[in-house]
Amino acid sequence: MRTKAVRLYGKEDLRLEEFELPPIKDDEILAKVVSDSICMSSYKAAKQGTGHKRIPNNAAENPTIIGHEFAGEIIEVGAKWRHKFKPGQKYSIQPAIYYEDGPVGILSAPGYSYPFIGGDATYVIIPKDVLEQDCLLVYDGPGFYPASLAEPLSCVIGAMHANYHTKPGSYIHQMEIKEGGKMAILAGVGPMGLAAVNYVINRKDRKPSLLVVSDISQERLDRAATIFPPRLAKDNGIELAYLNTGKVPDPVSALKTLADGEGYDDVFVFAPVAPVIEQGDAILAIDGCLNFFAGPSNPEFSAKMNFYNVHYASTHIVGTSGGNNDDMVEALKYMSEGLDPAGLVTHIGGLNAVIDITLNLPNIPGGKKLIYTHIDLPLTAIDDFDMLGKSDPFFFELAKRVALTKGLWNVEAEEYLLENAPGI
């Protein structure tokens, strides 16, 4: 089977190439990739090359396929796995693979570490590492893009599960956000912040009573409020408020006012910006937990924390950078039940656009850039479909379909794209 893929050879050295995949072994699976969501982690990997902890040192001679938020369809199953998987099944992958190697564990991942699997490809070989750790997950929901976005959703699910609280006189950490508590998501209207908002207001087993989402971009806040309006959260028992901290003289005071002056039980920081972290620390309630979700690229990055409150108010901090297998299963379950992550997606493109997007991702506005690997299409904002449709029937049809969901990407638009876009 021949495949086309974007491969990483070193720092900022990405190449779109066509090559032959080897025949699969009994403990492997051949799969078609349909969609891949480009992540900031791929940008960091491309910028760092072999300096990245998950990129092999011999990438120049044995390049890896990038992309780790992908979904597709199983084509051929090796003999060892035919009891569990079959051709035609849709799938997603939990990409963080951990295995023992003597006294030290090794963390590898599709999209970083393997020559024949990654999301920015037309066909891939799913290796035994993924299969033996039960990281190939069948997806039974509609479309493909929700399964591509299951991995980022699993990261915020893992963050919620990683928070913890305590009781006076007890040393037991009670894992999870506080039931009925007050939650703030700071710098929270980027793609991952929106994924967190989506999960919080749709979650069935545990909810805060108050959710405040802050940012300094009114345009992004307005978009978030359109996708996740306060009335939707209220229907699920949550008071939701959006706050532009760039337009108030004292962001900490404004945030505390929304929490009736009591502070927040769970605070999530979605930007590696010291003042935002310090805001989060300053608004913690007694026994409040701050989750630093955003990964900095500077190893010397730091911010202040109030250690008086650590001692006397039991405030504490955790950091999360991904989800585990259980989180992925939970993400796919919610999506199969109707949770739609389309609000994260602002751009659509083909495999031909991956290199430029990946190397310039921080400079491209909007949310998630969703790639369909079998098509040739420049990166295109969904908001531009109407304008492009005035002269191009293809975009006219796409515009009609996204209009049905108030400008959001949807399964019908995806199906039309896959049937009518030019092939790569």
154 occurs within a structural domain: no
CATH of the domain at 304: 3.40.50.720
Total number of domains constituting the chain: 2
Query: Which of these three, 254, 284, 319, is where a domain ends?
Result: 319
**pLDDT score at 95:** 87
pLDDT tens digits along 104-149? 445 688 999 999 999 999 999 999 999 999 999 999 989 999 999 9
SS3 state at 164 = strand
141 and 272, same domain (yes or no): no
Mean pLDDT across 27-48: 95
Query: Which of these three, 285, 319, 353, is where a domain ends?
Result: 319
**pLDDT score at 105:** 44
**pLDDT score at 169:** 87
Distance separating alpha carbons of residues 406 and 336, to the nearest angstrom: 21
Residue 297 contacts residue 216 (beta carbons within 8 Å): no
367 occurs within a structural domain: yes
CATH of the domain at 99: 3.90.180.10
What is the pLDDT of the chain when averaged over all its residues?
94
263: left (phi over 0), alpha (psi -120 to 50) or beta: left
200 and 297, same domain (yes or no): yes
123 occurs within a structural domain: yes
259 has a pLDDT exceeding 90:
yes
324 occurs within a structural domain: no
170 and 306, same domain (yes or no): yes
13 and 144, same domain (yes or no): yes
Q: Per the confidence metrics, is the pTM higher than 0.75?
A: yes
User: Interior CA angle at 375 toward 370 and 377, to 5°?
Assistant: 70
pLDDT tens digits along 336-356? 888 889 988 999 999 999 999
**pLDDT score at 103:** 42
Tokens of 142: 């509609």
158 occurs within a structural domain: no
263 has a pLDDT exceeding 80:
yes
Distance separating alpha carbons of residues 265 and 115, to the nearest angstrom: 44
Instruction: Return the amino acid letter for 399.
Output: A
347 and 412, same domain (yes or no): yes
186 and 312, same domain (yes or no): yes
| Proportion of the chain above pLDDT 70, given as a percent | 98
Distance separating alpha carbons of residues 422 and 424, to the nearest angstrom: 7
102 has a pLDDT exceeding 70:
no
Residues written for the chain:
424
301 and 367, same domain (yes or no): no
Lowest average pLDDT, out of 61-65, 358-362, 404-408, goes to 404-408
